[in-house]
Amino acid sequence: MKLEYPDQWSRLVRSFTVLMLTCDIYNFNHVVEGVNPEVEQHLEMGKKLLAAGQLADALSHYHAAVDGDPDNYLTYYRRATVYLALGKSRSALPDLDKVVKLKPDFTAARMQRGNVLLKQGKLDEALLDFNEVINREPNNEEAIGKALKIGPIRENVALARQYLEYQDYESVIVALEEPIELCPWDTTLREMRAEAYEAMGELFKAISDIRPTAKLIPDNQQAFLRMSLLHYRMGEEEESLNQIRECLKLDPDHKRCHSHYKLVKKLAKQLKDAQDLKVHEQYDECVSKASNIIKTDPDSPQFVVRAKSYLCHCHSKLSNVDESLKFCSEVLQLDPQNIDAMADKAEAHIANEDYQAAIQELQAAQEIDENSRRIRELLQRAQKLEKQSKKRDYYKILGVKRNARKKDILKAYRRLAVKWHPDKHEEGPQKEKAQKIFIDLAAAKEVLTDPEKRQRFDAGEDPLDPEEQQGGHGHPFFHQGFNPFGGGGFSFKFNFN
């Protein structure tokens, strides 16, 4: 069984501890006959609590038993077993040492100590215990098997160090697989593999190796700092904050942890603010906040791409076409399958009236995520607008931008209506041209100053096109009750003839 973390060993030991102790009760009671009644009572209570799986309570009674009878090797052995079941190998070792000192021929204690030393990566000491067991019990298969594994472990660890020196990181990982499986509490092996994973860009796996070292080594500030830095590189600001806070709990004055904490805390707030501004459609403030994120740490790719994603989106919503296209393109260079950036870039193309470019962008996005509702609706809109662009474009007729305000639309209409009113032109081709332009101007004003009609037009539908209206007939303007001479502030008379 591969034991990745100390608590896995704890669960494994806990599962067989009660059975082992129950089977040995007769011998145990026989050995401790004659001890003082108080110690005997603690031993009896410890046994019952062990049988009930209440390890912490059992441990307290074994503490009392050891204090009351410090020369009884079995009380130390039982307490060591409970320590191991609780995952406290460092506490168990002194008790096992005491057992071996008091009774050198107690092979069960030597075997237990050898196993702990092996898991801690103390190979020389573990081998001494296994060999002593073999000397006393030549047929002990467990001791023989463990002793035979120590040589290959040494060779693999030595190879891993050589591979690391030559930057052959994949070979480092392969060489350390079995040593870490057999020595899961050896922090140096995990740190070595974490270094290889980090060099290969496998940051999550590197964190998985560093995390146990934070438990195995007391006050391991470096482990928390390293995990925080790795989470930061992955763009996980909240988890980076959590880990760096653990470092500061151990040492509030740790300079590097404190410096990194200030950076991550500031960046996390900026990212949250930018997201809130985006959600609440405060696009000008969103642009400002996202720009500040880049200034805070321009060398962090994960956070820079998120900041540029906000700039891509918010500039798009502000119809700042050039800026939006610039930032959206930069996001897609770093993250080619960013659906949101592709949609924002398409919206910028639409605002720029480059419908074909928008369609191409959205079709590429659909290949990545065919179920995206936003992509599907944008694609339908772009296709409608492309079809519409081949007909009349009311914005172009008035010479205004698609985000023009109503007062700008009316101003443009009045200026052009004065210029192209038919009564200002002589009979003939020029007057016929003026008549056509004047009708188009009035139609554009009618659509773009009516919020409902303008919304339909922006969605790709011409509200004055009889082909798009059920039951439409005749000239679309007059069918809609439209009068090119009403509502514009003009008193000109127009002769259709």
- Note every long-range contact of 56-65, with CB atoms under 8 Å and residues 24 or more positions apart, other chains counting: 56/86, 58/82, 59/83, 59/86, 64/38, 64/39, 65/39
Task: List, for residues 159-182, the tens digit of each pLDDT value.
Answer: 999 999 999 999 999 999 999 999
pLDDT over threshold 60, residue 486:
no
| Angstrom distances, CA of residue 46 to CA of 19, 53, 112, 122 | 14, 10, 20, 31
Task: List, for residues 397-436, the tens digit of each pLDDT value.
Answer: 888 888 889 999 999 899 998 888 888 887 877 878 888 8
What pLDDT score does 86 carry? 85
Q: What are the backbone angles phi and psi of residue 35, rounded to the nearest 5°?
A: -75, 165
Domains for the chain: give ranges and CATH numbers. Answer: 6-153 (1.25.40.10), 281-389 (1.25.40.10), 394-479 (1.10.287.110)
At residue 166, the 3 state secondary structure works out as coil
What pLDDT score does 35 carry? 58
Phi-psi group of 219: left, alpha or beta (phi > 0 → left; psi -120 to 50 → alpha; rest → beta)? left
Helix axes 169-182, 187-199, angle to 10 degrees: 150
What pLDDT score does 469 carry? 59
Write out the H or E segment, with its range, that includes residue 77: helix 73-85
What pLDDT score does 89 carry? 85
Task: List, for residues 114-132, the tens digit of each pLDDT value.
Answer: 999 999 999 999 999 999 9
Nearest residue to 233 (alpha-carbon basis) of 294, 295, 303, 293: 303
| Calpha distance 240→256 (Å, rounded) | 14
What pLDDT score does 30 carry? 41
At a CB cut-off of 8 Å and minimum separation 6, what does 159 contact?
A: 171, 175
Task: List, for residues 71-115, the tens digit of each pLDDT value.
Answer: 889 889 989 988 888 888 889 999 999 999 999 999 999 999 999
Helix axes 187-199, 141-165, angle to 10 degrees: 40
| Angstrom distances, CA of residue 293 to CA of 1, 313, 344 | 46, 15, 20
Place of tokens 């190998």: 89
Complete DSSP assignment for 362-383: HHHHHHH-TT-HHHHHHHHHHH
- The tally of CA atoms less than 13 A away on the side-chain side of residue 383 is 9
pLDDT over threshold 60, residue 69:
yes
pLDDT over threshold 50, residue 495:
no
What pLDDT score does 214 carry? 94
pLDDT over threshold 80, residue 477:
no
| Calpha distance 261→294 (Å, rounded) | 18
| Calpha distance 106→81 (Å, rounded) | 14
Range in 8-12, 160-164, 177-181, 462-466 with the lowest mean pLDDT: 8-12
Burial (Cβ within 10 Å: 0-12, 13-18, ≥19) of residue 473: exposed
Burial 123-152 (b: 16+ CB within 10 A, else e): beebbbbbbbbbeeeeebeebbebbebbee
Task: List, for residues 384-405, the tens digit of each pLDDT value.
Answer: 888 877 778 888 888 888 888 9
At residue 401, the 3 state secondary structure works out as coil
What pLDDT score does 468 carry? 64
What pLDDT score does 51 carry? 82
The DSSP code for 254 is -
| Calpha distance 192→187 (Å, rounded) | 9
Percent of the chain having pLDDT more than 90? 62
What pLDDT score does 46 carry? 86
- The tally of CA atoms less than 13 A away on the side-chain side of residue 101 is 10
Instruction: Report the chain's mean pLDDT, rounded to a whole number.
Output: 86
The DSSP code for 422 is G
Q: Are the C-beta atoms of residues 154 and 123 closer than 8 Å to each other? A: yes
Task: List, for residues 339-390, the tens digit of each pLDDT value.
Answer: 999 999 999 999 888 999 999 999 999 999 999 999 999 999 999 888 877 7
What pLDDT score does 26 carry? 35
At residue 392, the 3 state secondary structure works out as coil
Nearest residue to 480 (alpha-carbon basis) of 462, 497, 460: 462
| Calpha distance 207→186 (Å, rounded) | 16
